[in-house]
A = this chain, B = another copy of it.
Amino acid sequence: MNRFLCFLFCVLAVAACKTHQTAESITPADEAFMREAILLSVESVAQGGGPFGAVIVKDGEIFASCSNSVTLDNDPTAHAEINAIRAACRALGTFDLDGCVIYASCEPCPMCLGAIYWAGIDRIYYANTRQDAEAIAFADNFIYEDMDRPMAQRNIPIIQLLRDEAQSAFRAWTEKVDKTEY
């Protein structure tokens, strides 16, 4: 009986740790910022955009609140996260969003996730998943899966040529002493 109790307490301790960890990483402020992103995603549908919203926060203050405007702006890159990154950079006068957190109403697609890495954002919160997006006919999951395949097996053919000639720009970059790195 003692052994059973010991096992039971171990299981409860692990469960408590896990619960504590989750509670620690999600605050009421995080929920409030995510609700703002969700509100943007709902309003976007009514306004003719895609059902996605994103908010970028620094030091507890919102610097960008955007929704998806792909069809409204004739711009396939105008996802909520990309729009928000560009808006936050304009607001903060920098290409480096170090110290910022993004709240996206859906898991970022590969384009948006890549942009988040390039922007140097600290942390990502998301609500819907790529599978949820797939269920309403968005290509997020398809793109993740396709770009993970070897080039020869992808749906969009990708072919290399003239690498030797293209190296000239990389050499010029290496040799440039006054460049702005990013």
Residues of A whose CB lies within 8 Å of any CB of B are: 25-26, 30-31, 34-35, 38, 41-42, 44-46, 48, 50-53, 70-71, 73-77, 79, 82, 85-86, 89-90, 93-97, 105-107, 109-129, 132-133, 135-137, 139, 142-143, 146-148, 156-163, 165-170, 172-174, 176, 179-182
CA distance A127 to B31 in the complex (A): 44
CA distance A161 to B104 in the complex (A): 10
Check B74–A173 contact: CB distance below 8 A.
no
Tell me the minimal C-beta distance from A116 to chain B in angstroms: 7
Number of copies: 2
Check A127–B74 contact: CB distance below 8 A.
no
Check A127–B165 contact: CB distance below 8 A.
yes
Check A74–B51 contact: CB distance below 8 A.
no
CA distance A127 to B168 in the complex (A): 11
Task: Find A161's partner among B31, B95, B110, B117 (CB 8 Å cutoff).
Answer: B31
Q: A95-B76, A122-B156, A167-B132 are in contact. Are A162 and B38 (CB under 8 A)?
A: yes
Check A94–B74 contact: CB distance below 8 A.
yes
